[in-house]
DNA sequence: CCGACTTTGTGCACACGTTCACAAGCGGTA
DNA sequence: TACCGCTTGTGAACGTGTGCACAAAGTCGG
């Protein structure tokens, strides 16, 4: 993998910048947003697929193949890639390694992002032991808990620190991403401490809405919400099926399974 | 009042080869009055907030208060609620319990959705032990793993079954949601077996793109992707900051991190 | 060197989601 | 009852994201 030197090149249009004078209304928004958030999420998926391809010895790939592997529309894939520049060859496809390096650059993965996990319970243990983070450029460098029985105990190779050391430890270990895996009532307080320790990105597993300053980015993973979305689809499907059956006046068992719909 | 139709518009990254499912007329597609997916996700959040309010003794709440608690715009909240009907009182607000019951109805939570977890490793243990699922109407009724040392061992009160029993057990316990927490290489095979067992909803933690039939709903939770999105924001922010500094001809070390920008 | 073929990159139209703004409706009050 | 202030519900404007379809740009065989 060729590490490209600085020499900014033309480089994508990170900031169109054409229309500088914008609305500086009451709510101060960030500047022109370059890449749609949805596209960023997909770029991360493409990167994972491409990494697997590199390992498999693939050197070139077309948008059709890559989009199939990533589970998206090929037009969407090409549009997503166009946000980061034109690195394909018409009639041929994309050089896998080139694409990987450019996506990594855009996602900011040329830099390591140190992670701290707060709340070393069931979930915290799993996260601390997970090898998928360090291998993708997100080394876990600190663990925190209030439980005195846990402090000092190594989990995943890292000793747990007491929550009261959070500001000091986060600063000294240059933590840039904080993961909250505490019970819900403690989440906001932990979040506040992370913020005051200078952490600007937070991944929150506790089912609570966190209040943070504008400059802090929060993403939440709420499994109950995921379940409920699935539940919604089940219900909708059941509604449709029953409506259809009512319309047809017919009861037709669908192949796979005998799903019993209670009247 | 809201005339709600079945609305048969699924989509979700279907294969391009899908034959036209609805031949109701190529021109008009007016029937779909479904609830936007994004709104469904938020409804689940509102539900959680409202449940907390019920416990807190709150009986009535305005869109302004609820939206603040849920971290969204009040107009968006009202629009989201309007998808499920008109249950507010103008000049007063919403009755909390009424709202809870209607959201639960729409999300299909009047029915219990039994959950099976496959892959009882680090993450699987955490999920099996998590009390947040049963309490929200998602009882975990089955656990599966290939590891013979695990089969029979109770985790979170449920003995682990061997993966080979998956079809039989899922059917007999009426599993409607399958959770995949196996290593990535095993995920697709596990998914296929869940589908053949009649499971129509899957929550996937393995970082792979699952291929499923159209009638199966998949949601993925990819923590590495979440991290990378955060990383992207860090990078973008650094870019902006450096651009601004360059414009000002000033170099200012920002507290948290020493981002070195090559000239 | 040319022409056939392949695949990218993108303009455009459309669908979806968000936000604004305000009439309609309700409870309380005189 | 008539008025008033408050909050909902929603039409419409607006912004964002998606998908189509095709010209541009490249490769390859002759
Ligand atoms: N376990 C899961 O699979 C799962 C799934 C979805 C969501 N969650 C959420 O993740 C969070 C953690 O879940 P869990 O199952 O690991 O819970 P847990 O009770 O097993 O662990 C919580 C840990 O946080 C620690 N803690 C409590 N207060 C703290 C504080 N102020 N500062 C630092 N540490 C503190 C506790 O000592 C404990 O070790 C919860 O909010 C839960 O709702 C968990
Ligand atoms: N641990 C985490 O915090 C974390 C975070 C994000 C994603 N993930 C993903 O979740 C998955 C599980 O992670 P983990 O840390 O629990 O892994 P793990 O290795 O601890 O556990 C995996 C379990 O799956 C079982 N298994 C393997 N093949 C199986 C099969 N064919 N059928 C049934 N069970 C099988 C193994 O016996 C093992 O018990 C992985 O795909 C991982 O990438 C984990």
Ligand 2 pocket mutation pick from B170, B182, B192, B223 by most atoms within 8 angstroms of CB? B182
Same domain, A17 and A39: yes
Domain region containing B250: 229-263
Beta bridge partners of B180: B118, B204
b/e A102-135 (16+ beta carbons within 10 angstroms → b) = bbbbbbbbeeebbbbbbbbbbbbbbbbebeebee
Same domain, A197 and A244: no
Beta strands, E only, A27-81: 60-61
B109 with A233: Cβ contact below 8 A: no
Shortest Cα distance, chain B CAs vs residue A63, angstroms: 15
Same domain, B131 and B78: no
Q: Which residues of A touch B35 (CB under 8 A)?
A: 232
Same domain, B72 and B166: no
| Cβ A151 vs Cβ A174: under 8 Å | no
Same domain, B49 and B143: no
Q: Work out the percent of chain B whose per-residue pLDDT is above 90.
A: 75
What pLDDT was estimated at residue B242?
67
Task: Report helix, strand or coil for A95.
Answer: strand
> Which CATH number characterizes residue A135's domain?
3.40.50.720
Q: Which residues of B touch A37 (CB under 8 A)?
A: 229
**Bases of strand C lying below 7 A from some protein CB:** 5-11, 15-21, 24-27
B200 with A237: Cβ contact below 8 A: yes
What pLDDT was estimated at residue A236?
84
- Closest chain B residue by Cα to residue A198: B256
For chains A and B, count residue pairs whose Cβ atoms are closer than 8 Å. Answer: 225
**Opening angle at CA B55, ends A230 and B104, nearest 5:** 25
Helix axes B63-70, B74-84, angle to 10 degrees: 110
Same domain, A253 and A183: no
Looking at A49, A71, A106, which one is the last position of a domain? A106
Q: How many domains does chain A have?
A: 3
Dihedral of alpha carbons B153, B155, B156, B159, sign: negative
Of A71, A171, A238, the CB nearest to B209: A71
CA distance B177 to B142: 11
> Which CATH number characterizes residue A98's domain?
1.10.10.10
Q: Say which DSSP state A209 is in.
A: P
Same domain, A66 and A95: yes
CA distance B10 to A240: 11
Residue whose C-alpha is closest to residue B218's, from B231, B236, B206: B206
Looking at A71, A106, A141, which one is the last position of a domain? A106
Looking at A90, A106, A122, which one is the last position of a domain? A106
- Name the more confident of B254 and A145: A145
Determine the atom of ligand 2 nearest the C-alpha atom of B223: 6
Per-residue pLDDT of chain B (263 residues; tens, 9 = 90+): 332 233 222 223 222 222 333 333 322 333 335 899 999 999 999 999 999 999 999 999 999 999 999 999 999 999 999 999 999 999 999 999 999 999 999 999 999 999 999 999 999 999 999 999 999 999 999 999 999 999 999 999 999 999 999 999 999 999 999 999 999 999 999 999 999 999 999 999 999 999 999 899 999 999 999 999 999 998 888 777 666 666 665 444 433 333 333 33
Question: Ligand 2 atom 37: the closest Cα is on which residue?
Answer: B147
CA distance A230 to A251: 25
Best of A110, A174, A183, A224 to disrupt the B interface by mutation (most B CBs within 10 Å)?
A: A224
Q: Which residues of B touch A205 (CB under 8 A)?
A: none
pLDDT digit string (tens) for A198-244? 999 999 999 999 999 989 999 999 999 999 999 999 888 877 766 66
Same domain, A233 and A206: no
Same domain, A89 and A139: no
> Please, what is the end-to-end C-alpha distance for chain B in angstroms?
63
What pLDDT was estimated at residue A48?
96
φ and ψ at residue A142, rounded to 5 degrees? -155, 145
pLDDT digit string (tens) for B148-165? 999 999 999 999 999 999
Same domain, A7 and A35: yes
CA distance B81 to B154: 42
Same domain, B97 and B143: no
Strands A114-118 and A93-95: unpaired
Same domain, A195 and A177: yes
């Amino acid at each position: 993998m060729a590490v490209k030197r600085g020499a900014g090149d033309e480089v994508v249009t990170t900031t169109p910048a054409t229309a500088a004078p914008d609305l500086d209304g009451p709510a101060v928004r960030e500047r022109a947003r370059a890449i749609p958030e949805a596209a960023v999420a997909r770029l991360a998926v493409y990167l994972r697929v491409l990494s697997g391809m590199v390992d498999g010895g693939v050197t070139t790939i077309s948008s059709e193949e890559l989009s199939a592997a990533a589970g998206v529309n090929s037009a969407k894939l090409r549009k997503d890639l166009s946000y980061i520049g034109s690195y394909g060859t018409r009639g041929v496809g994309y050089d896998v390694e080139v694409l990987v390096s450019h996506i990594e650059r855009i996602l900011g993965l040329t830099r390591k992002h140190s992670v701290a996990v707060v709340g070393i319970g069931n979930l915290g243990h799993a996260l601390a032991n997970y090898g998928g983070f360090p291998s993708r450029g997100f080394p876990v460098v600190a663990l925190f808990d209030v439980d005195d029985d846990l402090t000092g105990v190594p989990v995943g190779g890292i000793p747990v620190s007491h929550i009261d050391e959070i500001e000091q430890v986060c600063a000294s270990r240059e933590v840039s991403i904080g993961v909250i895996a505490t019970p819900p009532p403690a989440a906001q307080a932990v979040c506040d401490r992370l913020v005051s320790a200078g952490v600007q990105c937070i991944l929150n597993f506790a089912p609570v809405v966190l209040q943070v300053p504008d400059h802090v980015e929060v993403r939440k993973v709420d499994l109950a919400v995921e379940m409920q979305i699935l539940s919604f689809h089940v219900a909708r499907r059941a509604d449709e099926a029953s409506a259809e059956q009512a319309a047809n006046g017919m009861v037709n068992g669908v192949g796979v399974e005998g799903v019993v719909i209670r009247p």
